[in-house]
Amino acid sequence: MATPEKSTEDEEVYVPLAPPECSHASEPLSPTENGNIVTVVVGTEFMGQRTFLVHDWLLIHYSAYFRNVLEARSGTGENVVELSGDSPKIFAAFYHFLYARTLFSRLDFENIPFEDSEICHIYVFGQDHGIPQLCNAAVDLLFVKNVQTWTSSTDQLHYIYEETQEHSPLRKYMVDWVIRFYPLHPLRENESSFPKDFLIDVIEAITAPDNKICSTTNITSREKVDSMKLDICSKYHDHSPPRDYAPPRDYGSFL
């Protein structure tokens, strides 16, 4: 995991213990909703498997994928969904999000219970299952973790660029974090760590007419963190409603 260069100002970096606010997050659903329980079997016996019992109205509200699956099965009595290609730990984060609207129970400086790779997997799970609010929560958590641990998650770039599409908010977040906080001179030394498309995105971001970060030399790291935190919702969140959200992959075999 790459670490940005330290400066005397970095000792004063603001540590946001709370994730950024989302001004577009939907209201929590009433727990008195009527509905059925869906059994979601995640993983495989060989790799590890866990069964979750989930209210269908929660899945339908947050996820375009589950909405499609459950509406296609309406009236059939079938209530088991198998996600053999997914990780129980990643689904557990989604499960926690469904009921508590956070990815885990306590945002603790000492113990965010996810590796950077797991946070990126949560994002991709949300992307692939049409759950934009889960993607937003993952970006929020990655930002909090990057600030608190003062790392750049650049070792996740190949995964991110393989699993997300152009203009993905997660790609945009990584580019903007790197041009703010990552020392750019090791780019050549660590060339193999950076996907070509990422380097192109970095060049485009640096040369964009509205880019003021790289050219501003008298801004402290704390000011950069504060300004980025203010931009998280508007720049790196997807506020599309799940019904209008098209998962980028073909999950037809589950229908």
Count of residues touching Zn ion (by CB under 5 A): 4
- Asked if 233 touches Zn ion (CB under 5 A), the answer is yes
> 236, 134 in Cβ contact below 8 A?
no
Q: Which stretch binds Zn ion (CB under 5 A): 16-24, 98-106, 112-120, 191-199?
A: 16-24
Binding mask 21-50 for Zn ion (x = CB under 5 A): -x-x--------------------------
- Smaller CB distance to Zn ion: residue 54 or 103? 103
Which one, 88 or 130, has the nearer CB to Zn ion? Answer: 130
| C-alpha–C-alpha distance, residues 96 and 105, integer Å | 8
Q: Which long-range contacts (CB under 8 A, 24 or more apart) does 81-87 make?
A: 81/38, 81/39, 81/40, 81/41, 81/254, 82/40, 82/41, 82/254, 83/40, 83/41, 83/42, 83/43, 84/41, 84/42, 84/43, 84/44, 86/42, 86/43, 86/125, 87/42, 87/43, 87/48, 87/121
Report, in Å, the least distance between residue 136 CB and Zn ion.
6
Nearer to Zn ion, 198 or 236 (CB): 236
Residue 139 binds Zn ion, judged by CB under 5 A:
no
Residue 239: CB minimum distance to Zn ion, A: 6
Which window, 115-123, 164-172, 177-185, 229-237, contacts Zn ion (CB under 5 A)?
229-237
Least distance in angstroms from the C-beta of 57 to Zn ion:
23
Joined together, the tokens standing for residue 175 give 């580019």
Closer residue to Zn ion in complex, CB, 120/233: 233
Q: Which is nearer to Zn ion, 82 or 231 (CB)?
A: 231
Contact 242, 30 (CB under 8 A): no
**Shortest distance, CB of residue 231 to Zn ion, whole angstroms?**
10
Pick the closest to residue 22 from 228, 230, 227, 233 (CA basis).
233
Residue from 125, 237, 242, 245 in contact with Zn ion (CB under 5 A): 237
Per CB under 5 A, residues contacting Zn ion are 22, 24, 233, 237
